Amino acid sequence: MKRQRNVKIVATLGPASDTHDMIRALHEAGVDVFRLNMSHGTQEEIRAKHAIIRQVEAELDSPIAILADLQGPKLRVGDFVRGAEELENGASFRLDLDPADGDATRVCLPHPEIFAAIEPGVSLLVNDGKIRLKVESCGADFAECTVIAGGRISNHKGVNVPDVELPLAALSEKDRSDLEFACALGVDWLALSFVQRVEDVTEARALVKGRAAIMVKVEKPKAVERFEDILAVCDGVMVARGDLGVELPVQAVPPIQKRLIRKCRAAAKPVIVATQMLESMIESPMPTRAEVSDVATAIYEGSDAVMLSAESAAGQFPVQAVQTMDRVAIEVEADPTYAQIIAASRSIKGSSVADGIVAAAREIAETADIKAICCFTQSGTTALLTARERPGVPIIAMTSLRGTARRLALTWGCTCVMTGELARFKDAVVNAARAARAQGFATESDQIVLTAGVPFNVPGTTNILRVAPCDERLIYSTDPE
């Protein structure tokens, strides 16, 4: 489906958006990728949403990416006798392994891994950082703390430990079950939560066995510290600003977001900016000006996609939230400043033939009167490299593999078109011209740039750049076999 923008929109499905009519309306409003949150709903409920998305995809003949987001290990306190307590600043509070219900002086924290990792002076955050505790003394089964920032604490509130690396695997037993389920179902992207080290990604990749692309959610300080190593072993990144803003000073998040986006672009790997982008639209049909500015900033920075969470999953105005993102993206990308920023940040120097070809394709397209860049790709790499260039004309990613088309639906600027397997270069030129016309990017009097690899249908062989007419009569009269 042709969009009027390059940045992609990811929307989370939930109770407010799990019907066929709503999912179709969301896609038509602008959603390119649907996120299935494995933290909510049963596997059968996830299966039903997946089936509806694929039905909509078939109805509209428009490749749609599906992202399954694994829950990751959840660290939570136990129960309180009265359900909740109010912690006062300066008070003492104990966390321990005693399963007895808690009170105003203590509560169970059923995670011995935390007690094994912490030491005096470490901060513990409860309820998304609203409550801050400082560890005064600790042992294998307890931590005596001082309440630095008090507040209401209740049953099963989450705990963050920002100052230490926890000896926890990114994949819980639930995650392993959900991973196999999602891969067997046929999702296109798998998002990993709680990533702290390279091994968390390589472990998941061994289990995925190539059935889905792997996206790392950067939500832990250790993932930020080791980002370049983690980026090298994943396929894409989600900047999960919610947890980052809990575990790091909030003022540190914007520069981290900017750095991560730039590094992802340099590596030609898609990056999503997520969390609280239009949060007021959960209950209001209109966003705040600050939220619009936040979405615009992510687009100006060059992100591949922006994401809706509760806004589309549980909000009252899911379609309006998508339409708002769509309008903001169109407005930003029409701003001459946007093109200047994108061009100024283009500092990638590749060393392969494919790097040279995609760079040349962009320069030719922006110098001459070229309407689109058509790239034939099997693995998706050529389209990713082309998107890294952020050209000023549309990118048409042409592939014979449905899975590649779906995964590329997340990538900046890519309109994905299915094509049959090709045997001759002339067939590729004709198919590219037809696709450019069919998508409304060009007419018969226009020209396109085409990149491809010979032999065809072999990943990693991009070695041809061709400026071609969109008039098939000219192609047949001038192109070699």
109 and 252 assigned to the same domain: no
- Alpha-carbon distance of 57 to 27, in angstroms, equals 9
**What CATH number should be reported for the domain holding residue 13?**
3.20.20.60
Q: Specify the DSSP class assigned to residue 30.
A: T
Domain membership flag for residue 35: yes
CA distance readout (Å), 363 to 61, 323, 357, 392: 31, 32, 10, 9
Domain membership flag for residue 2: no
Among residues 107, 130, 160, which one ends one of the domains?
160
Mapping DSSP to helix (H, G, I), strand (E, B) and coil, where does residue 299 land?
helix
| Neighbouring residues of 53: CB distance < 8 A, sequence distance ≥ 6 | 23, 34, 64, 66
Domain membership flag for residue 1: no
- Alpha-carbon distance of 353 to 287, in angstroms, equals 45
- Alpha-carbon distance of 159 to 207, in angstroms, equals 28
3-state secondary structure 306-322: EEECHHHHCCCCHHHHH
Domain membership flag for residue 55: yes
Instruction: Provide the 10 A C-beta neighbour count for residue 119.
Output: 11
226 and 274 assigned to the same domain: yes
- Alpha-carbon distance of 374 to 174, in angstroms, equals 42
Whether the Cβ atoms of residue 267 and residue 237 lie closer than 8 Å to each other: no
Q: Which among 12, 275, 324, 415 is annotated as catalytic?
A: 275
- Which residue's entry shows tokens 């909510």? 40
296 and 228 assigned to the same domain: yes
Sign of CA dihedral 220, 222, 225, 230: negative
- Total domain count, the chain: 3
- Alpha-carbon distance of 44 to 419, in angstroms, equals 33
Instruction: Provide the 10 A C-beta neighbour count for residue 451.
Output: 26
Q: For residue 269, indicate whether it is catalytic.
A: no
156 and 272 assigned to the same domain: no
Q: Which among 5, 24, 49, 217 is annotated as catalytic?
A: 217
- Alpha-carbon distance of 106 to 87, in angstroms, equals 10
Q: For residue 42, indicate whether it is catalytic.
A: no
200 and 293 assigned to the same domain: yes
- Alpha-carbon distance of 338 to 206, in angstroms, equals 40
235 and 377 assigned to the same domain: no
CA distance readout (Å), 78 to 126, 154, 280: 12, 9, 31
**Taking the model in full, what pTM does it have?**
0.93
Q: For residue 275, indicate whether it is catalytic.
A: yes
Residues in the chain: 481
Q: Which among 3, 54, 74, 76 is annotated as catalytic?
A: 76
Domain range enclosing 100: 84-160
Q: For residue 76, indicate whether it is catalytic.
A: yes
Type and span of the H or E element at 145: strand 142-149
**What CATH number should be reported for the domain holding residue 412?**
3.40.1380.20
Domain membership flag for residue 347: no
Q: Which among 24, 35, 362, 388 is annotated as catalytic?
A: 35
89 and 139 assigned to the same domain: yes
153 and 173 assigned to the same domain: no
481 residues of the chain, pLDDT tens digit each: 789 999 999 999 999 999 999 999 999 999 999 999 999 889 999 999 999 999 999 999 999 999 999 999 989 999 999 999 999 999 999 999 999 999 999 999 999 999 999 999 999 999 989 999 999 999 999 999 999 999 999 999 999 999 899 988 889 999 999 999 999 999 999 999 999 999 999 999 999 999 999 999 999 999 999 999 999 999 999 999 988 999 999 999 999 999 999 999 999 999 999 999 999 999 999 999 999 999 999 999 999 999 999 999 999 999 999 999 999 999 999 999 999 999 998 876 667 888 999 999 999 999 999 999 999 999 999 999 999 999 999 999 999 999 999 999 999 999 999 998 877 888 889 999 999 999 999 999 999 999 988 777 677 778 889 999 998 888 777 655 5
